[in-house]
Structure 1
Amino acid sequence: MSFAELDHLCRRLEALDHAQAMLGVDEAVNMPEGGGEKRADAMSVIASMAHELASAPHIADWIAKAEGEELDGAQRAAVAEFKRSYINRTCLSSEFVGRQVNARLRCEQLWRSLRAKNDWTDFLPSFENIVSLAREEAERRAEVLKLSPYDAMVEQFDPGSRSAEIGRVFADLKTFLKGFIPEALEAQARRRAKHPVKAFDGPFAIEKQKALGLELMKAVGFDFNHGRLDISHHPFCGGVPTDVRMTTRYRTDEFLSSLMGILHETGHGLYEQNLPHDLSHWPSMKARGMAAHESQSLFQEMQLSRRPEFWEFALPKAREILGLDGVTVADMLAHVHRVERGFIRVDADEATYPLHVILRFEIEQELITGKLAAKDVPELWNVKMQDYLGLSTAGNYKDGPMQDVHWPSGAFGYFPSYTLGAMMAAQQWAAVARALPDAPAQIARGDFTGINQWRKEHIWSKASMLSTPEIMRQATGEALNAKYFETHLKERYLD
């Protein structure tokens, strides 16, 4: 039975994916700098092995025969998703995959050391190599998938999304935000004139910040029997569903950037921990792309953790652990609801954040098509940054094109997922509010059981058995609609 052959193969691939994920986490969290070269070699070999195993020619016969077998609905979904992933895998040779993984790891390691030095010159040759490999990958995928090169890259992160539709949505959103942000800043100034923002007295010891983060992670439902929190250069959620590894980075002069980052990554972690476990080796039981993943992290961070009700529950814990004497919920909201034009995407508020994403979306399209040379990225970045956010990054590479890990690690086509996810999260919250009218009161009590049950039933349990648009339609009653995100921003940030 060919389905049984595919099932056995999926178990072997899951084991290799597990090994790669844990080696990647260790490389980012614990590995000494001197271990980078051999780690890159080891991971590239394992990636090549996994690719060879998953893209062998005889698998096409297994898939074709399995499609003709008597299967139940879940098995048919597994075959369909495996077929999609198989076609995407066979776009690339194992030799290319190994070469690309090695180059990505070396570039990312170089980025870690050179970003702090603002050293674009020494970073550029490695980055040019990554861009060249990304263009090669895009061309190879485009030929097989019958897509444009950039769409072929987007397909790897958010199956079914296309740059034309993304571009249309982003163009409208960019127009809205360029008008909305000045309004939000004016409304914020009026609020602050009446109620000045209260500064939080630091320093805040890292161990206390971590203690608060762990306390809130546990409260919102993270399972520490199947996960942990560490420190890395760039916050991420990695590992595997049974062993989720989250990271953050700390500053002692303030605590909110780290805490909100922890809550954001916890959203990713909850999604992974609540995917169907019994058949986790099937591709249909894995997370449904990065837009869906970002919708879960942004639901946790923006729709839940920045609500007044959340801080009614969380502030007493913050007072106890960090010593925030005299701080009120209103004081906290003044910080977590701030709107401010800034250089750093991961520190941006939810109103300005999409403009950071749109900037990258526009630039990486030109990089992949070859319209833009890698060496010219800083100049175009500066032009767009001034247009969208009124800030100059001329000569400031570490706060410009060197600020993110994504491009050094070869993740072109990933960025649109962030803002698509924000839109999805706002629409999901509207559906939760209809289904659970007392959801705000539940949050204020620190009870996330009902909300998490809704997410598990409508999002987490669906895994990749349905397309992202179909998951949204079934969960919310309609296709993705940007009006929910725009309404959310207006209600939160305008008087």
Structure 2
Amino acid sequence: MTAYEELSRKFKRLHALQEAAGLLSWDMSTVMPSGGAEARTEQLATLDVVCHEILTDASLDALFDQASAETKELSPWVQANLTEMRRRWLHATAVDSDLVEALSKACKRCEMIWREARPKADFAAVLPAMKEVLNLTRQEAAAKAERLDCSLYDALLDQYEPGGASAHIDTVFADLADFLPGFLDQAMAQQASRPVPLPLPGPFPREQQEALGRRMMAAVGFDFDHGRLDVSLHPFCGGVPDDVRITTRYDEDDFMTALMGVLHETGHAMYERGLPRDWRLQPVGEARGMAMHESQSLMVEMQACRSAEFVAFLAPIARETFGGEGAAWEAENLLRHYNKVEPGFIRVDADEVTYPAHVILRYRLEKALIAGEMELEALPEEWNRGMQDLLGITPPDDRLGCLQDIHWYDGAWGYFPTYTLGAMTAAQLFAAARQARPEIPEALGRGDFSPLMDWLKAHVHGQASSASGEAILERATGEPLNPEVFKAHLTARYLA
């Protein structure tokens, strides 16, 4: 067995254990009884430690040196796989197993407290546990920053966006922060000149919403033999490529939010299902970072499923599902609902014009917290101030403010900027896909996603982690990330 083959064997075992941990986490967020929290925390912490021990095995250092010499003449995919292995090894060897275990347990405890504190708008209840998570996260960031020779924040960002740099994000987000307020005013003025959307009379029973969601998932191409749809407090996509788990949440007074949430997560699922089978359980066979992953969910939800063509397909099916009658169920009225622009408190419910402001706020706050430039006790106040500055609204309580997202409470620091980077990437990829395959809009009008998905499989899904996200984007579209494409998309949709 060559050094590279030995590394492949070790990483295959590692990946299988991580997949098992992912399914245990899905269970914890969906169907696990609350009394199982302590046992599940111990199980996941143990798996985290075992995975960390595999990555920090003393033999890996020499294996990497040997494999580097072996793979010089091998395929670019093999070389890319070795690069990804080494990147993960560097992250792991920067942190000792005691910190890994402590952070895993702290995050699981904090998440369970958050689940009770959020509906009560009780930030004080979760503050002590969150302090522990933040303190341990700072220790992790410091250890990794020293090993990777980067800032504390960039060391965390690299876990979600390999090679990402906050200096670049600062520039992109500053440009967006300058653009969005004026554009929001224009979009709302244009919206005010149009007919007000007619209300859609509910209630919309959960069973019917789920049926509609499943029908639309099937249209996108979701394979129910390799996945399922469930309910959780916070919608997400988990599982593994051959067993993708989607969750959503339902409101019987509003079917639109859950449906678009389902379609968003279906975009994530299609990316996972489209990853190359030949490289399963190897680092190079995984998705290329969370910005690219978010681009795929937003490709489906925002670019495709909020288009006039798709809504024309959706409208009669929704009317039939809920027994609707009258002009309120016409495609034009549904489109006005789906593309309505209005500042709101909840990120996951935000329209695509105001959504970047939610992300910019979180990015600024988490950078300040990691850097120690802000105390955690000040988070609610600073959150509310930021919402007022960016969107002109102030949350009435912390449930609608700093308690709304699971990310920080579950230890996902450095994740938030990938949402808006993903939105910009989605706009650029969709523009390129339509140029290459002009039949895409007409196909969406028939509920046929195959031309779009075929293009994405070739240019994104099938590329996995064989190159950087920037390289994959440039190959697919002919240029690196260009914020002007996103602005042009917003202008075409909201000011036309």
TM-score class, shorter-chain normalisation, is over 0.9
The one-letter amino acid of 1:354's match is P
The CA distance in 1 between the partners of 2:429 and 2:448, in whole Å, is 18
Partner of 1:106: 109
CA contact (8 A) 2:212 2:318 kept: yes
The CA distance in 1 between the partners of 2:24 and 2:152, in whole Å, is 30
The CA distance in 2 between the partners of 1:196 and 1:372, in whole Å, is 43
Q: Deviations over 1:191-237 (max 9, x none)?
A: 1xxx2311111010001000000000011111111110000000000
CA contact (8 A) 2:387 2:394 kept: yes
The CA RMSD over aligned residues, in Å, is: 0.9
The percent identity for this pair of structures is 46
Partner of 1:93: 96
The one-letter amino acid of 2:342's match is E
CA contact (8 A) 2:439 2:451 kept: no
Which of 109, 122, 127 lines up with 2:125 in the alignment?
Answer: 122
Partner of 2:66: 65
TM-score (norm 2): 0.98
1:393 and 2:395 are equivalent in the alignment: yes
The one-letter amino acid of 2:290's match is M
Aligned-residue offset at 1:434: 0.7
Partner of 2:319: 319
The one-letter amino acid of 1:231's match is V
The one-letter amino acid of 1:367's match is L
CA contact (8 A) 2:316 2:330 kept: no
1:229-378 pair list within 5 angstroms: 229-326=229-326, 327-378=329-380
1:481-492 pair list within 5 angstroms: 481-492=482-493
Instruction: For structure 1, list consecutive stretches of 5 or more residues without a partner in the other structure.
Output: none
The CA distance in 2 between the partners of 1:181 and 1:57, in whole Å, is 55
Partner of 1:190: 193
The CA distance in 2 between the partners of 1:430 and 1:317, in whole Å, is 27
Q: Helix, strand or coil for the counterpart of 2:229?
A: strand
The one-letter amino acid of 2:223's match is D
TM-score (norm 1): 0.98
Q: Deviations over 1:300-332 (max 9, x none)?
A: 100000001001212222112122222111110
1:4 and 2:5 are equivalent in the alignment: yes
1:411-490 pair list within 5 angstroms: 411-490=412-491
Q: Helix, strand or coil for the counterpart of 2:480?
A: coil
1:169 and 2:172 are equivalent in the alignment: yes
Q: Helix, strand or coil for the counterpart of 1:60?
A: helix
The CA distance in 2 between the partners of 1:487 and 1:281, in whole Å, is 39
The CA distance in 2 between the partners of 1:133 and 1:77, in whole Å, is 31
Q: Helix, strand or coil for the counterpart of 1:75?
A: helix
The CA distance in 1 between the partners of 2:196 and 2:178, in whole Å, is 30
Task: Point out 4+ residue stretches in structure 1 off by more than 4 angstroms.
Answer: none
1:382 and 2:384 are equivalent in the alignment: yes
Q: Helix, strand or coil for the counterpart of 1:116?
A: helix
Instruction: For structure 2, list consecutive stretches of 5 or more residues without a partner in the other structure.
Output: none
Aligned-residue offset at 1:2: 0.5
Partner of 1:13: 14
Aligned-residue offset at 1:494: 1.1
Partner of 1:82: 85
The one-letter amino acid of 1:271's match is Y
The CA distance in 2 between the partners of 1:245 and 1:196, in whole Å, is 37
Aligned-residue offset at 1:487: 0.6
1:49 and 2:20 are equivalent in the alignment: no
The CA distance in 2 between the partners of 1:100 and 1:203, in whole Å, is 43
Partner of 1:181: 184
CA contact (8 A) 2:208 2:322 kept: yes
Which of 156, 159, 172 lines up with 1:156 in the alignment?
Answer: 159
The CA distance in 2 between the partners of 1:176 and 1:356, in whole Å, is 15
The CA distance in 2 between the partners of 1:27 and 1:358, in whole Å, is 29
Partner of 1:212: 212
The one-letter amino acid of 2:52's match is H
Aligned-residue offset at 1:109: 0.8
The CA distance in 2 between the partners of 1:324 and 1:17, in whole Å, is 45
Q: Deviations over 1:149-192 (max 9, x none)?
A: 0111111100111111101100010110011001111110111x
The CA distance in 2 between the partners of 1:134 and 1:7, in whole Å, is 29
The one-letter amino acid of 1:78's match is N
The one-letter amino acid of 2:338's match is V
The one-letter amino acid of 2:477's match is T
The CA distance in 2 between the partners of 1:79 and 1:301, in whole Å, is 34
Aligned length: 491
Partner of 1:223: 223
The CA distance in 2 between the partners of 1:459 and 1:133, in whole Å, is 35
The CA distance in 1 between the partners of 2:438 and 2:125, in whole Å, is 55
Aligned-residue offset at 1:71: 2.6
Aligned-residue offset at 1:73: 2.4
CA contact (8 A) 2:295 2:426 kept: yes
